[in-house]
Amino acid sequence: MRRSDCFGYRCPALAVFTFLAIASCIPVERQQESPSRPDSVLGSAIDAETLRRARQHSPLPALPASPTNRWADDERAAILGQFLFFDRRLSANGEVSCSTCHDPELSFADGKQLAQGLEVGPRHTPSLWNVAYNRWFFWDGRADTLWSQALGPLESEVEHGMSRVAIAALIRQDPDLRGAYEAVFGALPHSERPEDIDRLFVNVGKAMEAYERKLISRSSRFDRFIAEEESGSSEVNAALTSSELRGLSLFVGAANCRLCHAGPLFSDREFHDTRVPLLDGHRPPDSGRYGGIRSLLGAEFRGAGPFGDDPEHSMPEPVLRGETWGEFKTPTLRNVAKTGPYMHQGQLESLRDVVHFYSTLENARPPHDHGEVTMVPLELSASEIDDIVAFLGTLTDESIDAELLKPLASPLIH
Ligand code: HEC
Ligand code: HEC
C-alpha cells in the first residue's frame, strides 16, 4: 500500500481520503458470488447497490472550462485547429499529420501497438475521445494542458519532426492559413524574434485544443440505460443483456475496476502501476509518471507559464516521488471496444486479453519498491471475463457530427 502521498501530489487532506478510499476498496477477498439473477434484459434485474454505483459513471458532465486557453471554445479557432489536425504539411516529410495516428476512422487511434510517425515511437497511441476531460496529458502526464500537449508531437523527431520556425513560415506563406490565423489571434508578428515565434506556435496548440474539445462521446448504450433507469421510463430501449448486466455488477463490485476507472470518464485521471508486462524484454524500462513529472516541472510550455491566458489560475504542482516510477495514466474506457490494442505499449491485443491479465496477473512485472499494491489476481471464471468484456462494449458511442471527422477544404469559415 502506498503511503499517504495522494498519488504524488501535495494535498494532505485528499491524501488521507485517498488512503482510506483505497484501503477500503482493495479487492483483497472477492465478494460472495451474487445469487443468480433472473435472466431478464430489463434494467430492473440489477440490484440497488449495483445501480447506485453504476449511476456514478453516467451521465458525462458538461465539459470543464480551459482557463489557460482564451480560444478554447472559439468556433473559428476550432475550424483552424481541425484544418491543421489533418494537414500533412506540418511534418518534416510532408506525410504525417495528427490524424495519421489519431485517425477518426479508427476511433482517433491507429490500431498499432506502437505509434508510427517519422519513426516508430516508444508508446501506444491513445484515442482522443473525451480528451478534454483529462487533467494530465500523455500516458505519463507530462503536459498539464491540451494546448501545450499538441506542441510535443509537432517537434518530436519520431512524430512530425517539424520546428516552430517552419510552422510559422507555413502559416505566413499560405494565404488561407494566414487569414484564418489572423481572424482568430490577430495580426501575425512581423519579426522572427523567438518570443513571437513561440507565441504563434502556442496559438497553433490552442487552435488544436479548440478542435479536440469537440470530440465528445456521451451517449453510449450504457448512458441511455442509466438515463432510463433514472427516469423510471417504462419504455426500455437501451436494455443491457444479462451478460452485460453481470459484467456491470462485476465492474463496480467484486472486480472493483471502478477503483481506478472511476466516474463518468471511467478514469480517476491519475496514475497507477498495473504491472502489465512490457512488449518485449529488450526495451528500456519506461519510468512512466516519474519521468512525466520531471518533464512537466521543466517544461517550456505549461498552463501556469507565460503562455497561459489565466495567470491567476493555479495548476496543481506535482511532486517528484520514487513511488511514481512505472505508473501510467488510467485511460478512459469510453469507446474502448474500438481502440485496441491496449495499454501504454499496446501490449495486449484484445479486451479479453486485458481482463484475462487482471484476472491472473500472468507475467506481471514485479511491483516497484514502495509502489502501490492494489493489484491482486481477480481469479475470474471464463464466463465472468466474457461478461466484463460484454459490459465494456456498452460504453461505445461514436456518434458525432460527421463534419468533425474529415479534413476541411479550408481553414476559414465561409
Ligand atoms: C506518430 C503518431 C502520432 C502523431 C503524429 C500524433 N500523436 Fe498524439 N499521441 C501519440 C502517442 C503515441 C501518444 C502518447 C505518447 C506518450 O504518452 O508519451 C499521443 C498522445 C496524445 C494526446 C494525449 C492523450 C491523453 O489522453 O493523454 C493528445 C491530446 C494527442 N496525442 C493529440 C495529438 C495532436 C493534436 C497531434 C498533432 C499535432 C498528435 N497528437 C500527433 C501518437 C501521435
Ligand atoms: C489500480 C488501478 C486500476 C484497476 C483496479 C483497474 N485498472 Fe484498468 N487500467 C489502469 C491503468 C493505469 C491502465 C493503463 C496501464 C498501462 O498502460 O500500463 C489501465 C488500462 C485498462 C484498459 C486498457 C485501455 C486502453 O485504452 O488501453 C482496460 C480495457 C482496462 N484497464 C479495464 C479494466 C477493467 C475491466 C478492470 C477491472 C477488472 C480494471 N481495468 C481495473 C488502472 C486500473
8 A C-beta contact, residue 264 and residue 59: yes
Give the confidence band of 372 by pLDDT, cuts at 50, 70, 90.
Answer: low
Give the integer Cα–Cα distance in Å for 129 and 299. Answer: 25
Q: Output the CA 153–ligand 1 centroid distance in Å.
A: 6
Mutate to test the pocket of ligand 1, among 128, 129, 332 (most ligand atoms within 8 A of CB): 128
Give the confidence band of 266 by pLDDT, cuts at 50, 70, 90.
Answer: very high
Structure confidence by residue, pLDDT tens digits, 374-389: 788 999 999 999 999 9
What pLDDT is stored for residue 9 in this prediction? 30
Q: Output the CA 55–ligand 2 centroid distance in Å.
A: 20
What pLDDT is stored for residue 315 in this prediction? 74
User: Would residue 51 count as lying in a domain?
Assistant: yes
pLDDT at 38 over 70: no
Q: Which range in 12-16, 86-90, 230-234 is most confidently predicted, on average pLDDT?
A: 86-90
For residues 232 and 360, membership in a common domain is answered with yes
Q: Output the CA 112–ligand 1 centroid distance in Å.
A: 13
More confident of the two residues 318 and 190: 318
Expressed as residue numbers, the domain containing 47 is 40-60+218-285+325-395
Nearest CA, atom 12, ligand 2: 330
Instruction: Name the percent of the chain lying above pLDDT 70.
Output: 86
For residues 101 and 44, membership in a common domain is answered with no
Average pLDDT of the chain is 88
For residues 183 and 280, membership in a common domain is answered with no
Ligand 2 pocket (Cβ < 6 Å) reads: 255-257, 259-261, 272, 274, 276, 328, 330-331, 333, 336, 339, 342-344, 351, 354-355, 358, 374-375, 388
What pLDDT is stored for residue 246 in this prediction? 96
pLDDT at 63 over 90: yes
User: Would residue 297 count as lying in a domain?
Assistant: no
User: Would residue 179 count as lying in a domain?
Assistant: yes
Between the two ends of the chain, the Cα-to-Cα distance in Å is 57
pLDDT at 195 over 70: yes
What pLDDT is stored for residue 30 in this prediction? 38
- Average confidence (pLDDT) over 346-369: 93
User: Would residue 228 count as lying in a domain?
Assistant: yes
8 A C-beta contact, residue 408 and residue 83: yes
pLDDT at 34 over 50: no
Angular region, 343: left φ>0, alpha ψ -120 to 50, beta rest: left
What pLDDT is stored for residue 284 in this prediction? 66
What cell was used for 26?
A: 482493495
Closest CA to 172 of 202, 146, 143, 201: 201
Structure confidence by residue, pLDDT tens digits, 84-126: 999 999 999 999 999 999 999 999 999 999 999 999 999 999 9
What pLDDT is stored for residue 54 in this prediction? 97
User: Would residue 190 count as lying in a domain?
Assistant: yes
What pLDDT is stored for residue 16 in this prediction? 32
What pLDDT is stored for residue 84 in this prediction? 98
For residues 330 and 365, membership in a common domain is answered with yes
Give the integer Cα–Cα distance in Å for 6 and 269. Answer: 13
CATH number of the domain enclosing 129? 1.10.760.10
pLDDT at 154 over 90: yes
Alpha helical stretches, state H, 220-311: 221-231, 242-252, 289-297
The reported pTM is 0.91
The domain boundary residue, chosen from 216, 249, 274: 216
| Domain count along the chain | 2
For residues 269 and 158, membership in a common domain is answered with no
- Average confidence (pLDDT) over 322-331: 94
Closest CA to 237 of 43, 89, 100: 43
For residues 266 and 332, membership in a common domain is answered with yes
What pLDDT is stored for residue 283 in this prediction? 65
Nearest CA, atom 2, ligand 2: 260
Pairing of strands 271-272, 328-329: antiparallel
Q: Output the CA 72–ligand 1 centroid distance in Å.
A: 18
More confident of the two residues 230 and 241: 241
Nearest CA, atom 3, ligand 1: 101
What pLDDT is stored for residue 225 in this prediction? 94
